[in-house]
Amino acid sequence: MTAVTEIKLELANGPTRVSRILYDGCPLCESGDIQSLRHGDCSRRPCYHPIISPTINWMVCNTCSHVFTDGYFSPEASAIIFEKTLPQQLPGANFEQHRKLSANMIEKVAQYISTGSWLDVGFGNGSLLFTAEEWGFRPVGIDLRPSTVAAMQRLGFEANCADLQSFGEDQSIDVLSLADVLEHMPFPMDGLLAARRLLRDGGILLVSMPNYNCPAWRLLDAGNVNPYWGELEHFHNFSKKRLYALADEAGFEVVRYGISERYRVCMEVLFRRKRNYSDTPASPIRSSQDAN
């Protein structure tokens, strides 16, 4: 019997909750000087499962000012959440609408690299890979939802059910996209170090995510309509300054900042893998199991 099955049986036999694995300190700078910031309600999210507490406890680091949840999910709890695939997450969903959004992203990348391999992490509806192929890139995708991977493979694309840390050969990728992905990782530095390992020198990393410290975010807060405090699968809220600092520590330099069109109040940043940068990680890369 698997751990996931055991959790489901416990749920069937009566009310139960799966606790988050609590952070010992800030997941970015490892400082222990952290405090509670606010709470959020995730029970209205489409992917919510009653096995998870509906309350999200958000923390702030007094050393580096990063904002994060008090903990992250175990692999077993994550597997239950990822069992549910929303219609908009299936490859091909709203493909014409998203084709234009993806084209705008690829046009920006193409100013620096216009051909080669493009790895999209957490590819979801596949739009970025579909459109990258139109540009002449060789598309490759990884995603944690098995149904999404299977659907992409049926469309003839190279797709893998794998996490970023364990995927691929060193310096084999020209462009790597983390479009609204890094905030889902319990330890974002591990994701950036894995991206650096996979990208060739001078390769481009595309990162998009909500911008925690911008006027648009503060306006949502002022109206008490900010959806990100209740985002079940998010463990982090990044400011531009904190993202830049972490990427620099991981061996990337900023080449372009912009506004993301994918979701509300999001930023979209292009980084370049620093040439001749030391391949010695700034901190150990943890697998999802090691992180637990």
Q: Is residue 244 pLDDT above 80, yes or no?
A: yes
- Which stretch of 9-23, 91-105, 140-154, 243-257 has the lowest confidence by average pLDDT? 9-23
DSSP assignment of 27-81? TTT--S-EEEEEEEE-TTSTT--TTB-SEEEEEEETTT--EEESEE--HHHHHHH
pLDDT confidence of residue 146 = 86
Mean pLDDT of all residues in 232-240: 97
What would the two tokens of residue 175 be?
């462009």
Q: What is the C-alpha separation between 70 and 277, in angstroms, rounded?
A: 33
Q: Is residue 215 pLDDT above 90, yes or no?
A: yes
Q: In the 8-state DSSP scheme, what is residue 19?
A: P
Q: What does the pLDDT look like over 143-187, one tens digit per residue?
A: 988 889 999 999 999 999 999 999 989 999 999 999 999 999 999
> Position of tokens 């990427």?
247
**pLDDT above 70 coverage of the chain, percent:** 88
> Position of tokens 């391999």?
117
What band does 277 get if pLDDT is binned at 50, 70 and 90? low
pLDDT confidence of residue 151 = 92
pLDDT confidence of residue 81 = 79
Rounded to a whole number, what is the largest CA-CA distance in the chain? 57
What band does 85 get if pLDDT is binned at 50, 70 and 90? low
pLDDT confidence of residue 279 = 53
pLDDT confidence of residue 225 = 96
What band does 93 get if pLDDT is binned at 50, 70 and 90? confident
Q: Which residue did the predictor score with more confidence, 81 or 21?
A: 21
pLDDT confidence of residue 16 = 62
Q: Write down the mean pLDDT value for the chain.
A: 88
The separation between CA 232 and the C-alpha centre of its own chain, rounded to angstroms, equals 13
Q: What is the C-alpha separation between 178 and 146, in angstroms, rounded?
A: 19
